[in-house]
Structure 1
Amino acid sequence: MFSLFLVTPLKLMLLGLIAILGVTIVRYSWVAFSGEAERGRFLRALLLTISAVVLVIISNHLVLFWIAWVSVSLCLHRLILFYPERPRAQLAAHKKFLLARFSELLLASAFVALYSEFHTANIDRLMQQVALSSGSLQLNLAAVLLALVALIKCAQLPMHGWLIQVVEAPTPVSALLHAGIVNLGGILLLFFAPVLALSPLACWLLVLLAGISTIIAGLVSTTRISVKVKLAWSTSSQMGLMLVEIALGLYEMALLHLFAHSFYKSFSFLNSGNTVNHYLAAKLAGEVKPKVRHWTLALTISLLMIAIAQWQFAVMTSLAATVLVWFALSALIVPSVTRWDAASLPRIAITLLFASGLLTLYTFAKHHLALLMGLDTPLNFYADSFVALLFFSLFALSLALQYWPHVRWVKSLFIWLNAGAYVDEWATRLTLKLWPSSSLQALQSAQVHVNAEAKS
């Protein structure tokens, strides 16, 4: 039976996530804007944005999905410009607006290609027909277009600048954006995973572009001092990682990643005001920097844990996923093996117990989320190996930046990363050349005038 809306177990989980994030962010906003004259306007825009995201999730028609997708962007635009006098917010909104319109055009083109191939706009019925298809030129075109839309939505390099500059917007906007809205790129690919699975070209496009973005954005985030800017770069990196997981067919890992990232980023942004307190507490506690031998020990312990889990449950089916979990567990364990004192053994035991619990949770979630997706895509060995190599590179370069900062090539790398790889400058110039912003130019002129008066 034809229906404009559809709620599946997967969508129900996503709706639960949206509900938790929505209630938390709205409640935070109600308190944070208690002295703000425009609180009502902000809350209305916030609720409209959340409602549009919900509509994207439950849509079961290509046209309705596209309308909801556009609505999310337009509502977010109002939130970004809540303080229109801020030049960086103006720049972020300007770039975001242009990229959003382009991605919406690509999404519409992908939907037209799918409709012309299968002659139905019902998404549920469409995916059933795609599952029975062996692939075609139209299907490949649609998959590539969907991949490009996801790359833009997830703020992958070089289309990431607006996400970094949007930190000028109020904190609840950053929390909603980083914890929810940028995830829509991954959600889009999960909903249309059968289409993506039939296009090796689209998968390789995601692996290459999102993989490189993951590495660069992740390394750039380590050079940032501003908490919100560091988190923004981290989001770009994490979204790239999620897209890579989807491209490899690791849908259950991508889902788990999506949920974990959403909760982490919403908490991190809403709690960003306490960062100074956390920093001072760490300093007062006598924070000890782990040495290479500590990392070696942590890597060995985590590798043994993964080997045992693989022996018992055969949980790891991908080299890239194995490497990712290995490094993640090592990062969790290394603080406990760094400091040796009277409480070392209990602390290490608790950490290992916690790490074992996380590995068990991953095993459990992987199995059940795989059933939830109901799609088994063959793993591309070469893509999997390439991504594993990227993860090794990220880990090695991170250690080099941390432990050998005075080596010449590491210095050069740090300067390049500290400049954001110089990518956004070119993107900004191109954006303003294609579509100049008179309001932004007026704000910049006013700022220059104010600075000149202050100096005089």
Structure 2
Amino acid sequence: MDALLTINALKLVLLALVALLAVVIWRYSATALAGEQDKLRFMRALALTLTATVFTLLSNHLLLFWLGWCWISLSLQQLLLFYPQRPRAQLAAHKKALSARAGEILLALAFMLLYLEFGTADISSITSQATIQTSLGLYAHIATVLLVLVALIKCAQLPLHGWLIQIVEAPTPVSALLHAGIINLGGILLLIFSPLLKLSTAAATLLLVCALISTVLAALIMTTRISIKVRLAWSTIAQMGLMLVEIALGLYTLALLHLLAHSCYKAYAFLHSGNAVNHYLAAQLAEQTEPHVRHWLLALLAAAGMVLLAHQLMPLSSLSSGVLLALAITVLLMPSLARADSRRPLRVMLAVTYGIGLLALYCSGKFLLQNIAPTTAVLSTLADLFTSLVFAGLFIMAVLLRYHSRQRAVNQVFIWLNAGGYLDEWATRVTLKIWPYQNKAAAKPSNLSQAESLK
């Protein structure tokens, strides 16, 4: 008899992440909700959500995995509606519920097709069979496409992203749990079933195109936002899209490293969001220096050299990953070059040291994880090149929006991005037509609810 619950190296790493997030968020919640009358209800829903996540990760049976997936959504819904008197929180939870039900139906259909294709409901048996195959049957191809759609929905990719932006109405620990943990389930699903994805070019291409579009738009829209929490929410959409792009290209080790790093960062960012306001104000008061073209070129050349050096130590899996690293290091180095004063050499030295440290950390993480989620052959050279060009275009557009937003053409783009491309409005209208929503009677706000409303 096949085991209903199993653990392997990938699941062990993910369970360690869940345990870390659980301890941090639980302690934060216990302190933040100390004066809340419904604290017990919140902690109970949080415990159920965490338990459901662990159960889902351990599940080795299609039915158990699906039940755990549904369990996570239902328990999370209780956290999202912790303050039911907030209309925006109700609307966001309503939209989240509809997308969750759609994802659960698609996941059930995918699992049924996998059972028909492989004749077993054991997940490890399905992935083992797919590993030794050179092609998939029709049912498996359709199931893989459905898994991609489920991942896109779970990761709140555009245009089904509005609920993630509006869910900042929930208490801060809920935002930390959602953005650092639950939102990653789409990527985890595809990592578990990666042997199927690498055999389905149609599914991988669909994932690549949809995730790239969502990454670019979300990253650009984020630059137009002022609210700290809203910026973090848009950042999550962009980062989830980038992780899905890595999975689509077959860069599973990089995607796992990205998932772990993003989870830890977002948990810290949301739980530390109050102090982030002070940091933002301090940055606004600091002297701003607009960089020139030569500064960008110098930073880009230095970053390219550092990435090439890292490539000698730990070969990069694709051109797009190298381009992404080079652009990230460029952004890191540029501020130290732009401001001309007596301290510039010291700033440049510190920035270069920091960049080398980040690259060393990246290479170390990739080395440690390469046997857990091994990288396969890239989807195709054309896909890799196309992704690299998109990353370069995103970088150029972000620079234009940051430093040249007064130009007429750029300003028109800025206005459109500031409205979120009007995508959420369209999605909300469609959602409410499918599943009408009525505002429930508001209860008397608690003291903590009123305090959070003033943030």
Bin of the TM-score, shorter chain as denominator length: over 0.9
1:324: which partner in 2?
324
Per-residue CA distance 1:206-250 (angstroms, 9 max, x = gap): 111110000001100000011111111111111000000000000
Deviation at 1:21, TM superposition (A): 0.9
Deviation at 1:403, TM superposition (A): 1.9
Question: Which shifted more, 146-155 or 269-278?
Answer: 269-278
Per-residue CA distance 1:364-396 (angstroms, 9 max, x = gap): 322332211246234311111121111111101
Structure 1 outlier segments of 4+, above 4 Å: none
Deviation at 1:328, TM superposition (A): 1.0
Deviation at 1:341, TM superposition (A): 3.5
2:94: which partner in 1?
94
Alignment-mate amino acid for residue 210 of structure 1: A
- CA contact under 8 A between 1:110 and 1:141: conserved in structure 2? yes
Task: Normalising by structure 2, report the TM-score.
Answer: 0.94
2:358: which partner in 1?
358
Q: State the distance in 2 between where 1:376 and 1:399 align.
A: 33
Classify 1:190/1:119 alpha carbon distance in 2 versus 1 (closer, same or farther; 3 Å). Answer: same
Question: Which shifted more, 413-422 or 49-58?
Answer: 49-58
Question: Which shifted more, 424-433 or 356-365?
Answer: 356-365
Q: State the distance in 1 between where 2:271 and 2:232 align.
A: 12
Q: State the distance in 2 between where 1:34 and 1:290 align.
A: 47
- CA contact under 8 A between 1:81 and 1:169: conserved in structure 2? yes
What is the RMSD of the two structures over their aligned residues, measured on CA atoms? 1.5
Q: State the distance in 2 between where 1:366 and 1:338 align.
A: 32
1:390: which partner in 2?
390
Alignment-mate amino acid for residue 253 of structure 2: E
1:230: which partner in 2?
231
- CA contact under 8 A between 2:252 and 2:374: conserved in structure 1? no
Q: State the distance in 1 between where 2:165 and 2:123 align.
A: 33
Q: What percent of counterpart residues are identical? A: 55
Q: State the distance in 2 between where 1:18 and 1:336 align.
A: 37
2:244: which partner in 1?
243
Q: State the distance in 2 between where 1:424 and 1:176 align.
A: 23
1:146: which partner in 2?
147
Name the SS for the 2:26 alignment partner. Answer: helix
2:306: which partner in 1?
305
Higher relative contact order (CA 8 A, sep 6+): 2
- CA contact under 8 A between 1:318 and 1:379: conserved in structure 2? no
Question: Which shifted more, 92-101 or 126-135?
Answer: 126-135
1:407: which partner in 2?
407
Name the SS for the 2:152 alignment partner. Answer: helix
Per-residue CA distance 1:144-182 (angstroms, 9 max, x = gap): 000000000000001101101101111110000000100
2:447: which partner in 1?
none
Q: State the distance in 2 between where 1:132 and 1:280 align.
A: 56
1:66: which partner in 2?
66
Alignment-mate amino acid for residue 220 of structure 2: L
Question: Which shifted more, 214-223 or 329-338?
Answer: 329-338
- CA contact under 8 A between 2:253 and 2:374: conserved in structure 1? no
Name the SS for the 2:225 alignment partner. Answer: coil
Deviation at 1:71, TM superposition (A): 0.6
1:446: which partner in 2?
none
2:170: which partner in 1?
169
Per-residue CA distance 1:2-26 (angstroms, 9 max, x = gap): 2111111111111111111111111
Alignment-mate amino acid for residue 370 of structure 1: Q
1:55: which partner in 2?
55
Q: State the distance in 1 between where 2:341 and 2:253 align.
A: 40
Q: State the distance in 2 between where 1:18 and 1:340 align.
A: 45
Structure 1 stretches lacking a partner, 5+ long:
444-456
- CA contact under 8 A between 2:144 and 2:196: conserved in structure 1? yes
Alignment-mate amino acid for residue 229 of structure 2: K
Structure 1 residues 154-193: aligned runs within 5 Å:
154-193=155-194
Q: State the distance in 2 between where 1:294 and 1:47 align.
A: 50
Q: Say whether residues 1:132 and 2:161 are aligned partners.
A: no
Q: State the distance in 1 between where 2:361 and 2:213 align.
A: 29
- CA contact under 8 A between 1:80 and 1:169: conserved in structure 2? yes
- CA contact under 8 A between 2:251 and 2:375: conserved in structure 1? no
- Number of equivalent positions: 441
Q: State the distance in 1 between where 2:47 and 2:328 align.
A: 35
- CA contact under 8 A between 2:378 and 2:384: conserved in structure 1? no
Task: Normalising by structure 1, report the TM-score.
Answer: 0.93
